[in-house]
Amino acid sequence: ETGVTQTPRHLVMGMTNKKSLKCEQHLGHNAMYWYKQSAKKPLELMFVYSLEERVENNSVPSRFSPECPNSSHLFLHLHTLQPEDSALYLCASSQGQAGSYEQYFGPGTRLTVT
């Protein structure tokens, strides 16, 4: 149990659907992250929130829309996705954003876009 939960664990959606991924951390951390993990590629950082403020957006297409209503919850809203968006989406949190603060990851949502 890492203290970071994600739902759903698996999601299959059509290209015209709208869905949301949810992440919750129970560790009292103040930074949260969305990553995309695809086969044969390194982890790709998508968004970073620090104290509920978005501090990084790595040129992610607008069909991915993050939301951080409080320091414990993070959402990723999905709409009009493409098949190449199929991947494992990982949420992570950390106590701080610098130095030795390690990131704690959730189990991920395996997304398949049909």
Partner 1 sequence: GQNIDQPTEMTATEGAIVQINCTYQTSGFNGLFWYQQHAGEAPTFLSYNVLDGLEEKGRFSSFLSRSKGYSYLLLKELQMKDSASYLCAVRDLNAGNNRKLIWGLGTSLAVNP
Specify whether the backbone of 2 is left (phi greater than 0), alpha (psi in -120 to 50) or beta.
alpha
Is residue 66 at the binding interface for partner 1, with CB under 8 A as the rule? no
Choice from 31, 46, 76, 87 touching partner 1 (CB under 8 A): 31
Half-sphere exposure of 97 (CA within 13 A, CB side): 14
Tokens (6 digits) for 82: 């493409």
Q: Which of 12, 27, 51, 56 binds partner 1 (CB under 8 A)?
A: 56
Q: Which residues would be at the binding site for partner 1 (CB under 8 A)?
A: 2, 4, 31, 40-43, 45, 48, 50, 55-56, 58, 90, 97-100, 102-108
